Chains A and B, each alone.
Chain A
């Protein structure tokens, strides 16, 4: 158990809809990262938050947004969903924003857009 909790574990929705994925980081970790992983692909970095503020953006679509709340949990919002958005979405947290960053991953949310 990594200590990172993601909900829901599975999500099936229709094209055009909007969903929210939730992540609770490990206790004490201030950094949260969101990743997308399509079938048999590597991890695509979407966005990072550190202590409530956006720290870095990766290949995140304009239809996607995220935020980190004062209690450090984070949400990833995906809107106007397309079939190609079907993927595993992972959240990771780390204690160190610099130096030897060690990321601890949640179990992921499997999103299926039909």
Chain B
């Protein structure tokens, strides 16, 4: 059974601080996505990474796919209250019959 473990489960920091969220697995994924979900809303796709070692930047957010395509990280620089939300990672691989395997999420709160 393929699993994606996200850490930390919960993070509360002050505005302006930096943070990193991790998504780890023992399985190889062909692609990995990061989503952000706000309360009562559906998750919104932030980025997709497909190549081992790939780094993508979205303004203050930096996403990295591990060289072995088993893990990923999301780094936020100078966090703002608008970054508050539930961050979910999801991976797809042939081993999962290309089903999306979801992490449990990281609940992020940025205090002004």
- A interface residue numbers (CB < 8 A to B): 2, 4, 33, 40-43, 45, 48, 55-56, 88, 90, 92, 97-108, 110
Contact = CB atoms under 8 A, between A and B. Distances in A.
B94 to A, nearest CB: 8
A30 to B, nearest CB: 13
Contacts of B35: 103
B99 A103 contact: no
- What's the dominant secondary structure at chain A's contact region? loop
Given A42-B88, A42-B105, A43-B88, A101 B100 contact: yes
Interface residues of B, number: 25
Given A42-B104, A42-B105, A100 B92 contact: yes
A40 to B, nearest CB: 8
Which of B35, B98, B103, B105: most chain A CB closer than 10 A?
B98
Contacts of A98: 92, 94, 98
Contacts of B31: 99-101
